[in-house]
Structure 1
Amino acid sequence: MRTEEVLSGLGTGVWRWAAHTDRVVLDAQAARLLGLPPVRVNVHGSAVRARVHGVDFIELNGILDLALAEGTLAEGRLRVVDTGGDVVRVVRWRMRAQESAAEQIDVVGTIEDLSEEPSGRGEGPRGTSDWRLSREAFLLSAGRSLAEARSTDQVLRVAASLSMPGFSPDGMAVFAVEGDDLVLIGQQGHRAENAEPFRTTPMDFPFPAPEAARTGRAVYIAGREEYARRYPEAWRRAEGVPHRSWAFLPLMAEGRTVGAWMAAFEEVVSFTPDERSVLTTVARMLGQALSDVHVHESERELAEGLQRSMKPAVALVPGFDVAARYVPSGGGLQIGGDWYDVFALPSGQTALVIGDVQGHDVRAAGLMSQLRIAIRAYASEGHRPDAVLTRASAFLTRLNERQFEDPADARFATCLYLQANPAAGTLTVARAGHLDPAVALPDGTMIIHPSDGGLPLGIEDDPVYPVSEHKIDPDETMLLCTDGLVETGGHDLYSGQARLGAAFAATLGAGLETVADAIVDAVAGPGAYVTRGPHSGRSQDDIAFVLLRTAGATRLAHPESERHMYLAVPQTEQQRISDARHQLRGMLYDWATADQIDAAELALSEMIANVMMHTDSTANVMADVTGPPGRRLLRMTIADADGNLPHRRHPGEMASSGRGVLLLQELCDGWGVEPRGDGKAIWAEFREDDVR
């Protein structure tokens, strides 16, 4: 004997609800208990909801949501009502969610009669309220569902599932105003051939839906004869439908008509004041929901269009592989001032640009677009990187003056312009307040390539931007990025760089596109927020970055891979001494002896400080790590333009200087001074002592 037959003999019905289609299959016993014909049926979910007391249905939704989240069995009691809203019986239901083969959720359950006497209209065994309370519960549920809808399709699905307390539409249609026409955008309960004549209807046609939209007043039709008498032209198109009553209501939002909603019933409905009140309230919520999603979809289309413009095609760079990404922050319009650009120059070289206009709004995106075009134009004229940025700064300054009367509203922009010369293998960089480029070494170590820079664009009319030369060895990867890549997730400069370094180290041997995807996942992927940075209160920011690598190279962990660092410390930027120490420690992250790392950092600080105190020159810092792990050699060289050589002093007990040479003798494995034609260079060496 089948399970369903056994349960039926015990007065228990079986049902299954397919959530993705909102269809319910009821066996004969379940259909009988819900007041439907006692045969196996496959009905729309609204037909079942119309037979359940509104208050109980709201409670059922909450219990079902919890059961779905916990994967447990849900059960409770429901009052079954007739078409007039009177309680006819009380039933117990049990249900559990199941995942179908197509990874869609089905809910299966049972229903049994509790054999309790009903308590009349809207009343139940637990002191429940009348029909008006049921109506309020239904409206709360409908309002919540419509408020959560984020697309037109979602609004239409909610509209199709609405079941009024005590009476439920058997069909519905939603029309939208488009110019001088009323266009059908969704319907349920009608055959396609019956809906087609109403697909597009002029607003001045004598049809009920256009009349409701045109006048802003609802149209109620309580019978087929009334429909034929009042709207003969429309009736000739609608007489094939099985419905007997209709309600056409205007959809209003912010004082304007956005469309019309039709609810159709297979039974004759008198449309009492209470029923009209429910229909009017639902129409208001539906109109507002459609207006809201229209704004949301328009913003999304605008954002997607701007994002496409911010992600230009990456030009081929002879001799190099390039990968680039742009990731919006996810807030507001999801557009901002971050951008990248890669394009060929008439000279045969290639320009790589990364920048960030102040702000995260449409104004920032507009300025970004104009600034990017201007930089392309100046670069195509053949100007050097510093001249390109100087002209771009003047352009943004004039743009601010024309667009913003209040100087406080003016925007600035940071930018890094890199010109790649494949013939010489050099990278010429000019930087306007932007982050320095970073380089990932073949073994995954990430270091910063400091470069001289100037003010952000838009601060001065005629700023000066120093130019620096860089080279990347085979298997090294250069990273150009905006601050969002470093700081997203509440990170500061150092913790953000450590996170990026981990992403590079995890993709050894991978292609450049794979590395780019791994960086995006590390910074903005699902697991990016498990470990927050030290500044968790920081807002998110857009992300843009470009990766550059020698063509055909793949990053492999070579046992004897070399590491190099170069940094210029001008007299006016002595804070870069801290950057030099931080980069050196990064290069030595896997050095065998921690004491040697501390000693090398101290020696580096001392040599740079010697240049700062005793010369007027810039300190050019170079550091190289060579050799196999455990037997590597660190050589640090500090060059300056002063020809006076350091000498050993004998400072007294209270002297505040003069101990630099003594420190080098004690800390280093070797040191020395090399006179040069344009100054001198002092060097110090450390040999790795592998005690592991």
Structure 2
Amino acid sequence: MISPKPGGWPYAFDGLATAVLDSRGTVLGWTETAADLTGLTAKDVCGRPVQELLADLPGDADAATEIPAFGQVRLRHRSGEIIPVTFRATRVTGSSDLLVVAAPTQNVSDQQQGVDLLRAFSSQDRIAIALHDRDLFIVHSNNLSGVFGCPPVPPRGRLRDVLMDGDAEETEAFLRQVLDTGAPLVRRDQPVRWRHDQARQRAMSLSAFRLEDERGRPTGVAALYIDTTDQWRARRDLDLARKTAERVGGSLDVVRTAQDLADVTAPAFGDFAAVDLAEAVFDGDEPAKRLGGGDLRLRNAAMAPAAAGWPAGIERGDPVPPFLDHPVVRSFQHGETVILSRDEYISVIGDPQRVEFLLPKGCHSVMVAPLHARGLTLGDVSVWRVGSSVPFTEDEADLMAQIASRGALAIDNARRYTREHRAAVALQRRLLPPATTDAPAGETAGVYLPAGGGAEIGGDWFDAIALPSLRLALVAGDVVGHGMSASATMGRLRAAIQTLADLELEPDELLTRIADLVQRLATEAPPADQDTVGATCLYAVYDPVTQCCTLASAGHPPPVLVRPNGTVEVVEVSPGPPLAIGGMPYETTTIDLEPGSVLALYTDGLIEREGDDIGQGLRHLMDTLAATCRPERPLDETGAALLANLADQAPRDDAALLLARTRAVPAKDTAQWQIPADPAAVSEARAWTTRQLARWGLDDLLFTTELIVSELVTNAIRYGRPPAELRLIRHDVLVCEVTDSSPTQPRLRRAATTDEGGRGLFLVAQLAMRWGCRYSPGGKTIWAEQLIEYPH
């Protein structure tokens, strides 16, 4: 008796029922599998016609003895169940007996469908199927060599015979997982390298499921291998294009944009990448057009990775060495992306030692794409591959050209912004006053901080204007909006304020005039921009003789005062409407300032801190002033400390700050004399002036000063109203002031030859360095200044 092997019969032989029939169809032999199939033993059926076992008896008994070579019949089980079977009959050699082999029709159909499925898979030219046994040896494969172009797998070979070791181990690990768990693996994509073509990376999709016998015992793994290199490259290209669109162009800084482009291309596209730009691009200018070899005037703008792998000594910002007049260079300058091997790159450079200094270690292939935008070649992006990576292909050159095109547009946008921003900053700096001033009334220090860490300029400004009689005007203003238009509006307002300040208007009157100007500017603007034209302003005038400061605000934040003893307070100012709103009055506030007091004028960008309200920002400003504003510390250092925190936060709005430390004219340098309402008082005024100048040691100015005093006092007595006063102020100039209670405006005119008067102010204008008139609620003051030349 033949006994099955320990592992059981092969699945293909399971369930086969066998019988031996004579020529009449009588059962001569009956196997155990036949008994299992019908429930009838050999004792039950031997000697009986086989037709008695059929569920459908043929009508013709003679025909029943005709047993065909193959067919399908229905057997009746001992239990009465009908069993469809498929059989095959073969005559025994040298005998009339027949050997009949039968199996359930369903089993035969399943096996036939399995064979058909395997045959269909085996005939595919884009799908490779491999059957692995339990030790993962390949027992059958249809088309591995055809799909992947690899050599045929040897009998009972392993994946490591065709795949590189690392890729083979990774793939077999997944096959082992399927064999152990029974969980199928579906479409797992992985990059692989084949032993026959190690330099070229390809992509493979792996699907696998466990093979089992009829008892569910694992017998191996069926694996489907599909070459997905084209799809993998397409996804890689799409991902690279998407990353380029997302990351490149988000900044308007040329160097930052170049670095983003380098970071996108390495390591996704190559092992190393560098972006070189024309030197003019860094400054926002257009690069010169050059053809042929020589110095292309390029400078490195970005490298990726930032440090590792580059030759020692290469740093960002280094100039790119000159090239020979090589056809490759000319192709690049005409906008073509070029691929070079290491030897070809050496021929372009012309110096092997320089190549060793320039190229990353182990580099074997380089691709250089021009950054070409709007007819300008801005520079290039170079990508290197090193080690075992594959050389660049022409298909990749097309992709690199698309990436470079997008990067070039982003860099050109940044370049144009750099040019416009540089022009706007230059305009802003030209429009702003000197950062520090030193006047008899005090010293000042101003600081301006553009918005966004310098990315945006706006219309914030400060000013310190020297006025007659040693007085000082302090200004802080904020124009609505940003950019060139805000800067231009700021320049016009600053010029207007300087002009009106020379007219010595009171702060409230000056702001009223400026408000009228802003309204005119709004009407001149395009209709869509008229509602955005506006400004706020704080104007203050400090008199070092009286030590009084008069202020008026047009919707501007109040100033902060630091007393000489270190106390800090907010000056209470009655805020008027912003300058764009007309028809509303402005109010003045007068405060006393001790010598050494620091008055801080600022714009709202200084106190608008992210996450805080205006009150918190103002308190922060006061605390910083209390900590940093010291009598011995220069004002410019204090201003820099105030803006240090704000600069770190890249404020959303620009900010301006003006610090003014006040001084006082000593009492010994001023003298006043009340003018009687009597024409004879003119001679008394001259005598008083002579005595005062003698005390001050200004004898050289005695003659001209007597004439000036004589003319001004005469006009006050003749045309003015009492009370009147003569005042002399000594500093680096000698100021002569005559004040009366009449608002009548003096006029300078040229008298005719026959006129007996009218030459007074003309004479004053000729003798004084400058002269003028200012008005107050109590009258007017006519003044004249003469330069004092002290001996060295």
Larger radius of gyration between Structure 1 and Structure 2: 2
Q: So what's the TM-score if we normalise by structure 2? A: 0.43
Q: So what's the TM-score if we normalise by structure 1? A: 0.48
